[in-house]
Chains A and B, each alone.
Chain A
């Protein structure tokens, strides 16, 4: 039994045992369900082996939604614990584990796959390409992300969750203070998912630089594609830092090196430094695509082309550069001198300038527009004031002298939720509603959608504005309880009510998906929002080759021009199309990565070696494989086109 003891959760509770049973039963139900409906073959040939950017996108979307609910449950648990003074719902260890996993899950396994979904689904369509530059690599990216996510989520039922915060600062995260395998999970799961993200970065940079439709120069790209391009550039330059830092952290924990220890010449603050050299650009990796989505949505529903296209691009380029200049503002109180803090204060405040330019550009796009208040537009309109509030408190936090007051308080927690929720989460929900008809061929219910947006916003304001106040009054973040005499009780209760209202909002979202799937009309056009860019110029559902004929582009909004100004998008006749073959290799390689990662977490070296050999064998197989893809014949394309045209118009 000694062998199995290491898998036990070090700090169990009824909730964890209940989750184990729940997860076990769900897995069995899924396996029985797939077997009963005889879907194993379908699952393998259509999804697990696919290299189609649209299907990979949908798999990212499903993972992101799943993780949104996991992270959401964590959040509700934390708010319930803090709702009353001296509450005993959770003990300190559980609270630590929950805020750690909430942070990691929400940033790396919810927000990241959500933007990956948008990159995958939209970018190739917007630039008129048939797929991404390296479709097989794209599948590997997804499966690495998925296995990293799986490994991380396994932690709370096998071996115990990480508990050193999502930032996992050393020396707390070192073996001395975190002796369970939890932090090993953190280091290795994020490493695997991070490699996947880095590959996506390379893939999409290449796709956007090399595969645009004829006539689409860089300055004629749609704004979402621009934001995706910039975000991927940041990924390529920021993620290697994370890779290195995690590798060093892993070696400290597993092999006794001294990079981040406090003895033998180790430097514990080097972790915080490297973490934020990656961590700050990471924030912009999340927010820039969100800005891109808002740009698309606002210009569509204001019925105007985007105001200040060039300044939008310039501000994003500037943000991407500045994002690498500001990381030390995450530890102003570490003890470095006034000179350093002043430099990083000024660079941080400077970021508000290009961001402000973007806000004004959106407002000017609305100016004299024929505004149509659909659900995506409602999210965008709620985003502008709420996000600006978060931006302003960001400038407050940027003042290094004042930061000694705010540091590590709920004020900071309120600030970053205030930029991430209206900034990123609203963009994701707005984008999801906006692109839903292109994805699935029907629209989400508008009435329920607007209710969701309002309920979420009311919940958001109630949940996070009180934290600004308790933070300024001195409530520290990550503190699992507080005494009644602090007087934080009432505001934390308000916060809990807000969090509960947000939970209702997310239930409404799910109900909307269920309701619309059952009742929404399937009889919609390919372009239900009267939109402006190329992704709406193809059929719904999008055929696997995207466009039968490669579109011709002459402005920033070719599809709008083809509708209103007589621009001819599709010239010439249909020719056979070269497409990549499906492959099971990415999935198999992902499984080997999972085995490798799991074995690393528990230091089971023979299994580590087996995993590594598997990974290398997959790489070697790929090197010698002869796969030149396949051609779709003209007859087949014409048949598909006729069918899609007949069904929809």
Chain B
């Protein structure tokens, strides 16, 4: 019975519901802008990671290595682009 019950997926589902609820708090409670954005960014990234690993089965095939390399490379490029843009257009203007 233990092998048949998809514990990981159920836990993942519950966890993603919790993350959604936390993100909704930003709308329903009276937070400052920066606290709200921090909560949204954190929950969004954890949520995305959760979906990739648990529901899109990122680490379950032989391609594990190339899939994760791709994701990390994509993350790196995205972060460079975002922070580079902030630097050029806002922080150092």
A positions within 8 Å CB-CB of B: 209, 233, 237, 241, 267, 269-270, 273, 277, 324-325, 327-328, 334-337, 339-340, 343
Find out whether the CB atom of B77 lies under 8 angstroms from the CB atom of A324.
yes
18 sample A-B contacts, Cβ–Cβ < 8 Å, listed by A number: A233-B73, A237-B73, A237-B74, A267-B89, A270-B89, A273-B89, A277-B85, A324-B77, A324-B80, A325-B84, A328-B84, A328-B88, A334-B88, A337-B93, A339-B87, A339-B92, A340-B88, A343-B87
C-alpha gap A236/B74 in the complex (Å): 9
Q: Decide yes or no whether B66 CB sits under 8 A from chain A.
A: yes
B positions within 8 Å CB-CB of A: 66, 73-74, 77, 80-81, 84-85, 87-89, 92-93
Shortest CB-to-CB span from B35 to chain A, Å, is 23
Chain B residues, Cβ within 8 Å of A233: 73
Chain A residues, Cβ within 8 Å of B87: 336, 339-340, 343
Chain A residues, Cβ within 8 Å of B88: 273, 328, 334, 336, 340
Shortest CB-to-CB span from B81 to chain A, Å, is 5
Find out whether the CB atom of B77 lies under 8 angstroms from the CB atom of A237.
yes
C-alpha gap A324/B82 in the complex (Å): 11
Look across to chain B and name the residue whose beta carbon is closest to the beta carbon of A331. Answer: B88
- State the main secondary structure of chain B at its contact with A: helix
Shortest CB-to-CB span from B71 to chain A, Å, is 12
C-alpha gap A25/B92 in the complex (Å): 56
C-alpha gap A334/B66 in the complex (Å): 39
C-alpha gap A74/B92 in the complex (Å): 39
Find out whether the CB atom of B89 lies under 8 angstroms from the CB atom of A269.
yes
Find out whether the CB atom of A324 lies under 8 angstroms from the CB atom of B81.
yes
Shortest CB-to-CB span from B65 to chain A, Å, is 11
Given contacts A209-B66, A237-B74, A340-B87, contact A277 B81 (CB under 8 A): yes
Find out whether the CB atom of A336 lies under 8 angstroms from the CB atom of B77.
no
Chain A residues, Cβ within 8 Å of B74: 237
Look across to chain B and name the residue whose beta carbon is closest to the beta carbon of A269. Answer: B89
C-alpha gap A241/B81 in the complex (Å): 10
Shortest CB-to-CB span from A544 to chain B, Å, is 29
Chain B residues, Cβ within 8 Å of A327: 84
Shortest CB-to-CB span from A337 to chain B, Å, is 4
Find out whether the CB atom of B80 lies under 8 angstroms from the CB atom of A335.
no
Chain B residues, Cβ within 8 Å of A339: 87, 92
Find out whether the CB atom of B80 lies under 8 angstroms from the CB atom of A325.
yes
Find out whether the CB atom of A340 lies under 8 angstroms from the CB atom of B92.
yes
C-alpha gap A267/B88 in the complex (Å): 13
Chain A residues, Cβ within 8 Å of B81: 241, 277, 324
Which 5 residue pairs of A and B lie closest in terms of their CB atoms, listed nearest first?
A337-B92, A340-B92, A336-B88, A328-B88, A237-B77
